[in-house]
Amino acid sequence: MAATTTDASRGAIRAIALVEACKGLVVLLAATGVLALVHHDLNALAARLVAHSHLNPASKYPHIFLDAVAHLQQPRLLWLALGAAAYSALRLLEAYGLYRQRAWAEWLAALSGGIYLPFEVAELAHRPTALGALVLVVNLAVVGVMAWALVRRRAGAS
Taking only the tens place, the pLDDT of each residue in 96-140 is 999 999 999 999 999 999 999 999 999 999 999 999 999 999 999
The helix/strand/coil state of 89 is helix
Read off the pLDDT of each residue in 66-89 and give the average, rounded to a whole number. 86
Q: Identify the weakest region by mean pLDDT among 25-29, 77-81, 91-95, 137-141.
A: 77-81
| The pLDDT of residue 121 | 96
Read off the pLDDT of each residue in 85-105 and give the average, rounded to a whole number. 95
pTM above 0.85, yes or no: no
| The pLDDT of residue 158 | 63
pLDDT tens figures, 30-77: 999 888 877 778 888 888 888 888 888 888 888 888 888 887 777 888
Read off the pLDDT of each residue in 145-154 and give the average, rounded to a whole number. 91
CA distances from 148 to 6, 13, 36 (A): 11, 10, 42
Question: What angle (nearest 5°) sits at the alpha carbon of residue 151, between those of residues 146 and 154?
Answer: 125
| The pLDDT of residue 132 | 93
| The pLDDT of residue 149 | 92
Dihedral (CA of 18, 20, 23, 24) sign = negative
Instruction: Decide which of 11 and 41 is more confident.
Output: 11
Q: Identify the weakest region by mean pLDDT among 1-5, 121-125, 139-143.
A: 1-5
Contact between 147 and 110 under an 8 Å Cβ cutoff? The reply is yes
From the CB of residue 39, how many other CB atoms can be counted at a distance below 10 Å?
Answer: 8
Residues ≥6 apart with Cβ < 8 Å to 32: 81
